[in-house]
Amino acid sequence: MRTLVIGGVAAGTKAAAKLKREDRSAEVILITKSSDISYAGCGLPYYVGGLIETEEELIVNTPKKFEGLTGVRVLTGREAFHLDAEAKYVQARNLANGEEEVYSYDNLILAVGASPIVPDVPGMRLPGVFQMRTPQDAYAMRAYVEEHRVKRAVVVGGGFIGLEIAENLQVRGVSVTVIDMMPQIMPNVLDPEMAAYVKKHLQKSGIRIQTGTALKAVLGENEATGIQTDQGTIQSDLIVVSIGIRPNTAFLKDTGIKMDRGTIVVDEQMRTSLPDVYAAGDCVVVKNRITGMSQWSAMGSSANYEGRTLAQVLTGKDKTYPGVLGTGVVKLPGMNVGRTGLTEAQAREAGYDVETVLAVTDDKAHYYPDSDSFATKMIADRGTHKLLGIQVVGAGAVDKMTDIAATSIAMDARLEDLENLDLAYAPPFSTAIHPIVQAAYILQNKISGEMVSMTPAEYARGKAKGYKVVDVCPNPQIAGAVYVDLSTVNGAIEGLAKDEKILLVCLKGKRSYFLQNRLKAYGYTNTVVLEGAQYFNDVKVEGVKFQVSPEEITRVKALGFLQDKRTSNCFNGRVITRNGKITAEESRVIAEAAEKFGSGEITMTSRLTIEIQKVPYENIEPLREFLANAGLETGGTGSKVRPVVSCKGTTCQYGLIDTFHLSEMIHERFYHGYGQVKLPHKFKIAVGGCPNNCVKPDLNDLGIIGQRVPSVDLEKCRGCKICQVENNCPIGVAKMEDGKLHLDSGQCNHCGRCDGKCPFGAVATEMEGYKVYIGGRWGKKVAHGHALDKIFTSEEEVLDIVEKAILLFREQGITGERFADTIDRIGFENVKKQLLSDELLRRKQENLAAQKHLKGGATC
């Protein structure tokens, strides 16, 4: 019995390997278009981000290794182009030599997978445009990011893969914008309010999200420089297109095989409509395990299950594949997202009488060090209490919540079946009553009427209009709300009528439910609990000016927005100018942004950033999106490398070096390249073109000053009565002594003013370069930097010194102290020795990976 398998990633290799294990006598041949088989497709984004370090780690099995382990014959570089189901053979092209080959079979397994959808827009073939499907895609993207020092990227597509790529590019210090033509990210995966919550979190994490935005073109001539959308242009060095995939089934269109929108239709035993032809993986449509309706679920997990089931069927076992639940999980910056089963919209469409709840619970014992919260949306049928779906977001193990729900749905569980589920408990792992059980309790209370509530979706649609908001937090939190101390309520509450519409809001929802329960006993008939409370919702009281919380003030400060203390909700937004130099077009954009989102006023900071004045809190994200479309960003605060300050360099009459060029290199390599690196405190860099020190380099954590070191040729010195060199020395270091010119090298500041002043050529420049000062600062405690002895003669030398200084500060600084304090504590000679060696660079990756200085010391 010969079985031919077409496709060598998940479903194909799983089916082939299992088939050989079930029947060692079976002849199994696997052909695949790729040169790789069995690669970790879901791990590709993490290779781009560097979490997976080597290419080899992505390859689960090589063809040779797979043949040795399984006994399957593997032929790579073969592209199938014709199937004759009646004669039972497949024609394939050998991509190495172009020859056509014929493979006969007794049973055929189609596991041809799917390929990325490439939109038909101009510029898609430009260098710098990538998809993410194969190891070669990941290798090429990572190499491009490193070689081109990519600092801005656009990801087209807000699904799981697109968001994983966005996270991993951000890890590499790339500024990322995600666009999606749908009105939400993760469409058909999350309900709109859950997607909106994730979007808000991503934006807070520094990833810009633009939904309802369609790609129209990729911009650039020799390489990609940005995109054109139906909302405007976005500048970018890298474009990743992740808008979906389509099955690789075009070669089957004349075979008569039954298909549904390009996917192969199979039964529960993975049989197609053609005799002895089976299919599995991303190229097939199966059924939804709850509704029984067709569903395409292109997941590595389901592909493996399908392949295994298929192999057992081929060896005579009575096995069936029951279908999918659409289970998935994704890791995002500071947040994980999991889901299984039906969304609320899908459940309603399927005809269920739907009830939902949004429950915010602790993800483990609240006193355990890394405890956080889950926001869980649970979906059930109101009449039968059958669990239909779950969506979970949080910093912790959302996969565990999702998997428990998937198991329960597969077992046709009702909410009551979750009530006393004996799940694992210990403080590092869970709460005594498991979070998923708590969510089931809350949904049961809602269905029974014990809790009357309003969902976040209803609140967002304005259902709370006309309600009096009651703040049930431990301490007053909501501006303009009626505050009620839960612990003191023993009867009717003064000022609250028993029949008026009351919305109860606390931090997570529990205290509101407790108060509702108590108020019912005292005759209140119209109280409603806001599900998700303040944790999930932006709660505002009608007619009351919104008050920004201290936590939000701190968060937006990290984005470059400092509160204008004359107001309650306005901020001054710092626009990064790289080194004080911007284009005329950028200047126009900033001016327009100031008028559109702020007061119309602009100021300059001492660090050469531009501040847009009085930006209302609600305008912060729209402003950042507006600026991002022009390639501009906000920031410049926190315990990080700060934007570099530069003088005008060679445009000044005394300038010795091209400060704009050097400072822009520093900006890209360290402000951007180290953008996610937490330091003990802020780290300021200044570049001066000459010893005039206009930008005070020696009062920065690290200062660079242009140098022109002179030399004196005494044989050419004529001992002139009036020495032109002496007359032109601005600091009086050059002097005539005993009839000859003397220049004190210890006092000379290498300003270069003496070069060429001697008519006989006695003084000339011996060396041009850079002096580096470390450990300066101004402010409450002024310190002048220490100069390193060496004059550095190339920009690369200077960049290395800057990097080593940052690495030393991160490694050996104590959280909260400035670089000057670190140098004083461990000694200048010690620091100098380390900076002039390469040991710090050799420890770079270990240093940057360490979880240090997570709470820095910078206050502005």
Catalytic residues: 42
Distance CA 667, CA 646 (A): 10
C-alpha atoms less than 13 angstroms from C-alpha of 846 in its C-beta half-sphere: 7
Cβ pair 6, 80 in contact under 8 A: yes
Tokens 């990322």 locate to 176
Cβ pair 586, 630 in contact under 8 A: yes
In angstroms, how far is CA 768 from the centroid of its own chain? Answer: 42
Distance CA 359, CA 178 (A): 28
Distance CA 620, CA 634 (A): 10
521 burial type by CB count under 10 A (0-12 exposed, 13-18 middle, 19+ buried)? exposed
**Cα dihedral angle (534, 537, 542, 544), rounded to 10 degrees?**
50
In angstroms, how far is CA 131 from the centroid of its own chain? Answer: 17
Number of Cβ within 10 Å of residue 438's Cβ equals 19
Query: Parallel, antiparallel, or unpaired for β 284-287 and 294-295?
Result: antiparallel
| Cross-strand partners of 336 | 331, 394
Distance CA 789, CA 664 (A): 25
Task: Map residue 219 onto helix, strand or coil.
Answer: strand
Distance CA 654, CA 169 (A): 42
Cβ pair 748, 710 in contact under 8 A: yes
Task: Count Cβ neighbours within 10 Å for each residue of 592-629 and write b for 16 or more, e otherwise.
Answer: ebbeebbeeebeebebbbbbbbbbbbebbbebbbbbbb
| Cross-strand partners of 368 | none
**Strand ranges in 430-565 using DSSP code E only, listed in sequence order:** 453-454, 468-471, 482-483, 502-505, 527-530, 561-563
Task: Map residue 234 onto helix, strand or coil.
Answer: strand
Distance CA 641, CA 810 (A): 11
Q: Provide CB contacts within 8 A for 204, sequence distance 6+.
A: 555
Q: Tell which residue, 689, 687, 697, has the closest CA to residue 649.
A: 689
Distances (CA, A) of 149 to 177, 502, 633: 17, 55, 17
Q: Provide CB contacts within 8 A for 846, sequence distance 6+.
A: none
End-to-end CA distance of the chain: 73
What's the angle, vertex CA 507, arms to CA 501 and CA 512, rounded to 5? 40
